[in-house]
Structure 1
Amino acid sequence: MIYLRSYDTYKETLEYDVDTGASRLVSREEVERAGVQRTFGMFTRVGDRFFGVYATPEGPVFFGDDIRVLGRFGVTRGHVELDKATRIHRFALFDDSRLVLSTHYPEREGLGTNPYDTEPEDVDMFAAIAKGTESRQFFENYRRG
């Protein structure tokens, strides 16, 4: 079982079973009371589904509910595309050119609300993953034991 911080909501933590993909939301306070260590990574919600990335000794594991993909630099890549008419984004994760994970989600609010939020990846975890998969350093950052 691992615990991940929310990319979007300060008070939420995801309890995620890395073997089965079973998950539940827990409050930040509950995690702090239990003295549980959070795993390096992040998650977000799309409706009642959970998506994210967490660190392992082998590198980043990307997940969507019970689908898990071990990322490899140069092989695993994310892509976000905006439908300008509907303002709906589509996130796709490819591994060895094969689509392995995808979702649609509404545009994330917040860009420009403070001086630090100047890029889509500042407010949108999927954009952060897509940008991250372009960088060898991203994969190295998620290689933790």
Structure 2
Amino acid sequence: MSLLLLRNFDCAREVLQYATDHGPKAWVTHDPARQPDRGYFTVVDGRYYGVFASATGPVAFRDAQQWMLCENQVLTEMKLLPDGRKRFVVTIRNERVLDVVYQPSGIVVDNWSDDERMIDFFAWLRDGMSSGALGQFVSFYTLSA
């Protein structure tokens, strides 16, 4: 079992202890003496969603369920719903593995940027998984041995 410390996408002072074989463990306050691991998480309706780096590439998760994002035929989709919520979908080899409807938090991570990716975890992940940025995203979330 590997225990990771993942930053909350919306609040860098909060980190999640995430066991790679069991899922979320506990929220803790960021300890400056311990550098968080490469990855982020967010919470929607009491469920933990996130991404972390591994030796084989980026891994997305919902609670204890995990999916490799560097596999062939990984597609992401983002839709704005009529009520202002958004729907984020991940499909791997034509199978929908993740489908989450959420209300964007509106929390601005970078006050100097009007970049939508900076205020929405799922939009950030969608952008990272886009064809133009995919190579950089996979490379950054692949740990060297």
TM-score range, shorter chain: 0.7 to 0.9
- Give RMSD over aligned pairs: 2.0
**Does the CA contact (< 8 Å) of 1:77 and 1:94 recur in 2?**
yes
Residue ranges of structure 1 left out of the alignment (5+ in a row)? none
1:74 offset after TM fit, Å? 4.8
Aligned runs of 1:1-145 on 2, under 5 Å? 1-28=3-30, 31-32=31-32, 35-72=33-70, 74-83=72-81, 85-110=82-107, 114-116=111-113, 118-134=114-130, 135-145=134-144
Residue identity in the other structure for 1:87: G
Residue identity in the other structure for 2:86: H
**Does the CA contact (< 8 Å) of 2:49 and 2:63 recur in 1?**
yes
1:15-60 C-alpha deviation (Å, 9 max, x unpaired): 01110113321111xx34xx44421011111131110100001000
Helix, strand or coil at the partner of 1:57 = coil
Scaled by the length of structure 2, the TM-score of the pair is 0.86
Residue ranges of structure 2 left out of the alignment (5+ in a row)? none
1:120 offset after TM fit, Å? 1.7
1:10 offset after TM fit, Å? 2.3
1:107 offset after TM fit, Å? 2.4
Residue identity in the other structure for 2:58: P
Q: Percentage identity across aligned positions? A: 27
Scaled by the length of structure 1, the TM-score of the pair is 0.86
Residue identity in the other structure for 1:77: L
The number of residue pairs the alignment matches comes to: 139
Structure 1 runs of 4+ with >6 Å offset: none
Aligned equivalents of 2:34, 2:73: Cα separation in 1: 33
CA distance 1:73–1:138, shift in 2 (3 Å) = farther
Residue identity in the other structure for 1:13: V
Aligned equivalents of 1:144, 1:108: Cα separation in 2: 30
**Does the CA contact (< 8 Å) of 2:88 and 2:99 recur in 1?**
yes
1:76-133 C-alpha deviation (Å, 9 max, x unpaired): 23222111x211111111112211112111023146x8331x2221110100111111
